[in-house]
Amino acid sequence: MVSHRGLVAWSRIRHVSDQLPRGDANENDVTVHYWAAARAAAGIAEEHVSAVTLAELLTEIHRRHGHRDRFDDVIEFCSVLVGETPVGAKDPADVRLPAGVNVEFLPPFAGG
């Protein structure tokens, strides 16, 4: 007879707890990529953020980097891609972020 006690106990703890144990991926994690001036303003090329909507993501990256010189100004003018889909003028609260998706912040580029 095979016992599944460990799996059942772990599964129950995971569903009851608001916090996942360190090292487990959060099911709402997305990867944020910053390009060119956005990368310079953020001070990093990419990071992981837990967010269900683009509005939640924007709030979180502002919390993390809003103190940096020009971050908010640069992000405001960026084109945003969720996966390969441009967000355009959509309301960020209406843009759902599938778990594991890449969100790209692309500032305007000069030249051709």
Q: What gap in Å lies between CA 50 and CA 67, rounded to an integer?
A: 20
Q: Residue 12: in which H helix or E strand, if any?
A: helix 5-16
Task: Judge contact between 66 and 60, C-beta under 8 A.
Answer: no
The widest CA-to-CA distance across the chain, in whole angstroms, is: 69
Q: What is the pTM of this model?
A: 0.75
Write down all domains in the chain, each with its CATH number in brackets: 29-106 (3.10.20.30)
3-state secondary structure of 91: coil
112 residues of the chain, pLDDT tens digit each: 444 444 433 333 333 334 444 445 567 899 999 999 999 999 999 999 999 999 999 999 999 999 999 999 999 999 999 999 999 999 999 999 999 999 999 999 866 5
